[in-house]
Structure 1
Amino acid sequence: MNLYIRALGFNNMTSRAEEKFIKTGIKESIKEGFVIRHEKLDRGVIILRLSNSTGLYVYGRYEKNTFKYEYYFPFVVGKNLSENEEMTIERHLDKESYAVICDELKTGVTLIFYLQNVMDYLEYLYSGKDFKIPDFDPDIKNDITKVPIKNKKVALTGLSLGGIIMLPVRKERNSKKSRQDEIARKNLIQAAKNGDEDAIESLTIEDIDTYNELSNRVMKEDIFTIVDSTFMPCGVECDQYSVIGEILELREEENIYTGEKIYIMVLECNSLIITTAVNKEHLLGEPAVGRRFKGQIWLQGNVRFTD
């Protein structure tokens, strides 16, 4: 059973109940014609809606016009787009799902996340826009997927099994100066990636200054008043992250099957905008815009291949 289905309002779901629910959803969707099918690849997807912006992505293949279920994963829809220079997409070993590795331009960090829109990716590959391979088969020619894809936007989302709400920290906001500093740092990071030694030295000095400042302040202040947001890999899986982020937007939705409440939070973590879903019962504290969320998320992303 996918553990993160609990984040979307199935707190008491068991493996047997999960199997029954998926099979019933597949039958009803096929009966109503709610299947996205790729005729040439004989792949198909069923999206089971759970609330206004959450659902289950059920993936399978067709054998003699019969849909064969392979796997599913829960997801939340994100609308805020992040820019990146290039990305590489690789298939997981055990099933036809994909991990995306990309360089995010704002922070300069390398992100690894779970690809949401698998069918869009297969359509992008099969169309041969960049790869020019008319007979592409993802089972046979998987190596071609390691070719970097340039300048595609991504809507980052996350699912969390729990967390706590923290009070905000006082920050002096100067939007014009912050924007200029962000652009300057982005240019500096890009120059460092291209081998500019002066840019590398500048970033190194900046990191040393930041470390010295934090070392002095942590002796007198609480760590969470100094560090207002974090975004760090955690655990053994590459797409799991520990985050602290400011809540920019907040809404509450209801799972149409169980009636459980789901918080949908738009978080800002180190300049990354991540739409995150968490079961209301799993959250300690009262969320509100301006407060902070601290927890672990499973990072996903919807890549806009056609933009």
Structure 2
Amino acid sequence: MHKFMRAIGFSKLTDRREEQRLITDIIMNATQRSYTSNSKETILAEFCEDFAQDIGIAVCGEFDAEEKFTYDYFYPYLRGTGVSSYEDVSVERHADKESYAGVCDDIKVGVSLIFYLQNIVPYVKAHTTDMLPVTGTTLTLSGLSISGNILLPIGKDESDRRRIQKESMSRNQLIAAARKGDEDAIESLTLEDMDIYSTISKKILTEDVFSLVDTYFMPYGVECDQYSIMGEILDISLRRNRITREEIYVLHLCCNDLEFDVCINKEDLYGEPQIGRRFKGVIWMQGYINYPM
């Protein structure tokens, strides 16, 4: 049973037979079907069905030369909105099955962002026809969470927001220069980190850590595409799984200047989400590469 099925409203799906019936129904009644040839004798197929707006399950497998479909795996998904990053993305195949991980080095995050690739068929098609690398792509990220908390925001006025935005832009420019080997930028970043560490070390003795840290984004556990995050809620929508009738929150977050959507079962979210408040939780990061037309 997929761990993140409850994030899209299937918290009570625990029986293997029910799971197989659901997979069969998706294959037979998919709202979206994608195909591409991945070898001389097989065709890669992906069947997707939405159970709420932009929330659903994808079933992947292969058709052989006799047009017989062999089921491989499935995964729950949330289709994100907007563009999360304009940086280049590299893609690698997972070892055990025909699924893929994307890697994006966005300076806003501070780490190599690894995500589970949603639209594998366009990538495989580009790969088999020697069309890679594709220039001009953008990335839309989304996340699934099975546990989260709502925190109150840190008080900021408009001048504070402008100052933070200016400092963030300056730091991103320094990071970009440091990646190119600029020694002055490396030294500036080192001194800045030392100052931040010294300031926080003093304040942490008398203040709560979440009143000092506004947002964070860092790897979580041993799974390379799972992250512990805290970000500001920019938008909220409440959706309902049409099969189970479970309610799902979709939160549009800004985390380390990176914007993406996160869905979580209403029963798994502690607190009342509101725009301006913060979401803290662990997410499974997914991504959709937007190829130029």
TM-score, normalised to structure 2, is 0.92
Give the distance between the partners of 2:55 and 2:71, measured in 1 at CA: 20
Query: Partner residue of 2:186?
Result: 200
Query: Partner residue of 2:59?
Result: 58
Query: Partner residue of 1:48?
Result: 49
1:240 aligns with 2:197: no
1:159 aligns with 2:144: yes
Does the CA contact (< 8 Å) of 2:81 and 2:260 recur in 1? no
- Among 35, 38, 42, the alignment partner of 1:37 is 35
Amino acid at match of 1:202: S
Query: Partner residue of 2:11?
Result: 11
Query: Partner residue of 2:84?
Result: 82
SS, match of residue 28 in structure 2: helix
Distance change (3 Å), C-alpha of 1:159 and 1:252: same
Give the distance between the partners of 1:257 and 1:185, measured in 2 at CA: 47
SS, match of residue 207 in structure 2: coil
Give the distance between the partners of 2:255 and 2:232, measured in 1 at CA: 7
Distance change (3 Å), C-alpha of 1:232 and 1:107: closer
- Among 61, 66, 69, the alignment partner of 1:67 is 69
Give the distance between the partners of 2:250 and 2:174, measured in 1 at CA: 34
**How much does 1:170 deviate?**
0.6
SS, match of residue 225 in structure 1: helix
1:219 aligns with 2:205: yes
Distance change (3 Å), C-alpha of 1:294 and 1:108: closer
Query: Partner residue of 1:104?
Result: 106
Amino acid at match of 1:157: S
Distance change (3 Å), C-alpha of 1:215 and 1:172: farther
Does the CA contact (< 8 Å) of 2:80 and 2:261 recur in 1? yes
Amino acid at match of 1:214: I
Segment of structure 1 superposing worse, 175-184 or 231-240: 175-184
Give the distance between the partners of 2:147 and 2:110, measured in 1 at CA: 28
Q: How many residues align?
A: 287
Does the CA contact (< 8 Å) of 1:87 and 1:150 recur in 2? no
Give the distance between the partners of 2:265 and 2:22, measured in 1 at CA: 19
Provide the identity percentage: 41
Segments of 5+ residues of structure 1 without an aligned counterpart are 132-148
Segments of 5+ residues of structure 2 without an aligned counterpart are none
Query: Partner residue of 1:302?
Result: 288
CA distances 1:232-291 after superposition (whole Å, capped 9, x unpaired): 111111111111111110000000111000000011111111200000011111111111
Amino acid at match of 2:250: I
